[in-house]
Amino acid sequence: MKRLNYIVAFLLAFVLGFANLVKADEGMWLPMLIGKNYDQMKKQGFKLTPEDLYSVNKASIKDAIVSFGGFCTGEIISKNGLILTNHHCGYDAVASNSTVENNILDNGFYAMSNQEEKPIQGLFVRFLVRMEDVTPKVLAALNGVEEKNRAAKIAEISKTITTDATAGTTLEADVRDVYKANQFLLFVYERFNDVRLVGTPPQSIGKFGGDTDNWEWPRHTGDFSLFRVYADQNNKSATYAPSNKPYTPKKSLPISIKGLKNGDFSIVYGFPGRTDRYLTSYGVQMAVEKTNPTIVKLRDIRLKAWKEEMDKSDDTRLALSSIHANIANYWKYFIGQTEQLKRLRIFEEKQKQENEFSQWAASTPENASLMIQYKNAYSAFEPYAVHFTYLNEGLLATPWVRNVSQLGNTIKAMNARKDDAAYISQLKQNLNATVNAYEKTYNEIADKKIFAQILSSFYNDVPKSQHPKFITLIAEDFWKGTAESTFQNYAENLWKNSKLIEPASMRKFIDNPSIEDLQNDPAYKYAVNLNPQDYIKNNFGTLYSQFQAEKNRLDNLYLKALLSKNKGALIYPDANSTMRISYGQIQNYSPKDGITYNITTTIDGMMAKYQPGDDEFDLPQSLIDAYAKRDFRQYAENGTLNVGFISNNDITGGNSGSPVINGNGELIGVAFDGNWEAMSGDIAFDKEYKRTISLDIRFVLWCIDVLGGAKNIINELDIRTNQLPVPKDKLIMKKTE
């Protein structure tokens, strides 16, 4: 037990101490420990207290931050539960509520009353209630556990901890590790499942610049949307019901329209997804040479096939817009990450750090050979890296493959309980729900083309010695001289003869399922080979599981050693979809010699990019008219309207929609992107180039107020102007509107 206490104290000493030695622009800090960063934050312009950012005992800014759907961040901006997030975070909700007759994706939408707000099935938000260090409990449970059983034991004790933490409540909880499983934290959440769409600009504003401007600065994208969280009559979480009321939050963010200047303090508060800042040079090399190029190639196949069909009709464009946008976002990300990893010579920098580490570790037997062990682990797996990437990004990317696999398991379950009519009825309902969701993005021409091209690429790119037997047999049976024509021939045959690909025929099969018909169906004969666990076992043996286990073990030891080596420096943990605070400054940057980018962009730059009728750079007539009149109202600065700004805050995916907050705790913008010159940031932070691209809150308000005419929304907000407070004896009572 003394050893356990020593380890915990040892880790916390590094986590909590010496904050003044760390660059303020780098790091995604745990809110409950932010007090240790306070002196540095105060020097840079933070005016509040650490308890204003995070507190369990009183309302704090953390109570205004939500995990939006588990994939983005949102912030509460009114006492009526109004949520602000990104347009791309709400894109699926908007697209799924759009039809050719009521096309809110293209035309925009603002609810003029609560009754007009649109319920979004399946969307939820989670508020963080509290976080707690549970490292002692986890490490005590791991005492004496063999390495091979470590992961299972961590899962077991984590379940016990979360069950105890939520007993007798409706709360949810997760135990997450940080520092590569050297520390463990409990996060307790309150989840709300009734979330409704309140407003969105036309996508020509919300997605202005499209893929061309994605990850780029200067940027002019109006990337925002509005939702509202609802609760029952007691202000508690409830499933959707017309009688539910807007949620009354513990905290909502005031809004500042005072303007920005270079050097202003800024905080980004949200739920960043994943970083891998401690990845070794071996991992960087594999990403640059193997996995990233493969991901880009496979996503490019999907994007091109979808786009060809989307250009043919508005119905198809609306149906595929959301899935296309999701895939496109990280298609460009992996292109940029590879380019910047090379440009910034991250592989070489990692090697330098590892050589220094090895010299330091030479006298410690447990650490002396870590880098050699890393090299051996990666060398064993590297020949299979492309193949494994194809499994996740290619072979399993076809929706009907997953559906058919699920269908097979469900029919087996039906046969096991033939006499349970209610059970079988429920299973059929579940299957039909899956088909309904599948049908929304099903497009025979595109899906068939994607399927054939991915198989063809697999056949050409993956070493023949690694080809699964079923793919070798397909090639032999349908050979047409080239891989391209062969798998196109196979796809045509599959679509013609299967009852399990086209949604309508799949529904007929579900009505009267037969295990014999299933097993004889060519789609099932293909899909049954792609059960992920079986596929990995049959084609990789224990190679992948051994690599993952070995990498996890080495990562754990490496981080423990780095904490020891860098004693006296504050080391932040990698992002892992838990709440974090990043602080820094509004700051310009110079991407290359002779060029310096300003901190802001304006609507003048937006209009300079405007191309009537273009997919990416068109604009709605309402914006063009308001611009012509210079109708910017109180949201203007220096005679124009700011659209975006940049800061040196440290963010990643999952931070989309996060609030950007000034030193007074006021909302000044919404974070939505990173910049091209620092796309390597998830692996290596670069203080010279790394910037967060955010939407200026004044542009958001202008869109809602002037373009949308939604005064009801504006009236909900606590908007603070740049005017000095008026003395009480000079106040003039004004008649409310």
Residue 26 in any domain: the answer is no
Considering the domain architecture, whether residues 505 and 584 belong to the same structural domain is answered as no
Confidence class for position 731, pLDDT limits 50, 70, 90: very low
**Quick one: tokens of 572?**
């932040």
In which domain, by residue range, is 411 found? 281-544
Considering the domain architecture, whether residues 723 and 630 belong to the same structural domain is answered as yes
How many Å apart are CA 578 and CA 185, to the nearest integer? 10
Considering the domain architecture, whether residues 337 and 408 belong to the same structural domain is answered as yes
Pick the catalytic residue from 174, 213, 223, 521. Answer: 223
Are 652 and 675 in contact by the 8 Å Cβ rule? The answer is no
Radius of gyration in angstroms for the set of CA atoms belonging to the chain, rounded to a whole number: 27
Residue 140 in any domain: the answer is no
How many Å apart are CA 66 and CA 74, to the nearest integer? 5
* Mean pLDDT, residues 163-167 taken together: 97
52 is catalytic: no
How many Å apart are CA 14 and CA 29, to the nearest integer? 13
Q: Look at residues 544, 562, 593 and tell me which one is the last residue of a structural domain.
A: 544
Residue 341 in any domain: the answer is yes
Pick the catalytic residue from 656, 658, 680, 694. Answer: 656
Are 225 and 86 in contact by the 8 Å Cβ rule? The answer is yes
pLDDT of residue 23: 47
pLDDT of residue 419: 82
88 is catalytic: yes
Closest among 44, 43, 11 to 30, alpha carbons compared: 11
Considering the domain architecture, whether residues 105 and 205 belong to the same structural domain is answered as yes
Of the ranges 157-166, 511-520, 581-590, which one carries the lowest mean pLDDT score?
511-520
Average pLDDT value for the chain: 92
Residue 638 in any domain: the answer is yes
Confidence class for position 7, pLDDT limits 50, 70, 90: very low
For the segment 490-500, what is each residue's pLDDT rounded down to a tens digit?
999 999 999 99
- Structural domain count, the chain: 2
∠ CA 605-608-611, nearest 5°, is: 130
pLDDT of residue 211 exceeding 50: yes
* Mean pLDDT, residues 661-667 taken together: 97
pLDDT of residue 733: 35
Pick the catalytic residue from 88, 220, 324, 387. Answer: 88
Residue 168 in any domain: the answer is no
Considering the domain architecture, whether residues 231 and 339 belong to the same structural domain is answered as no
Residue 623 in any domain: the answer is yes
Considering the domain architecture, whether residues 257 and 287 belong to the same structural domain is answered as no
pLDDT of residue 326: 86
Considering the domain architecture, whether residues 499 and 590 belong to the same structural domain is answered as no
* Mean pLDDT, residues 508-531 taken together: 92
CATH number of 266's domain: 2.40.10.120
pLDDT of residue 11 exceeding 50: no
Residues 6+ apart with CB under 8 A from 452: 484, 487, 488, 490, 491
Are 553 and 147 in contact by the 8 Å Cβ rule? The answer is yes
Residue 736 in any domain: the answer is yes
| Percent of residues, the chain, with pLDDT higher than 70 | 94
Considering the domain architecture, whether residues 266 and 286 belong to the same structural domain is answered as no
For the segment 314-343, what is each residue's pLDDT rounded down to a tens digit?
999 989 988 998 899 889 999 999 999 999
Confidence class for position 415, pLDDT limits 50, 70, 90: confident
pLDDT of residue 36 exceeding 90: no
pLDDT of residue 132 exceeding 50: yes
Considering the domain architecture, whether residues 528 and 672 belong to the same structural domain is answered as no
* Mean pLDDT, residues 704-726 taken together: 85
pLDDT of residue 22: 39
pLDDT of residue 1: 35
pLDDT of residue 29 exceeding 80: yes
Considering the domain architecture, whether residues 212 and 334 belong to the same structural domain is answered as no
Considering the domain architecture, whether residues 314 and 381 belong to the same structural domain is answered as yes
pLDDT of residue 722: 58
pLDDT of residue 391 exceeding 60: yes
Considering the domain architecture, whether residues 592 and 713 belong to the same structural domain is answered as yes
604 is catalytic: no
pLDDT of residue 571: 82
How many Å apart are CA 105 and CA 318, to the nearest integer? 8
pLDDT of residue 18: 33
* Mean pLDDT, residues 63-86 taken together: 98
For the segment 302-312, what is each residue's pLDDT rounded down to a tens digit?
999 999 999 99
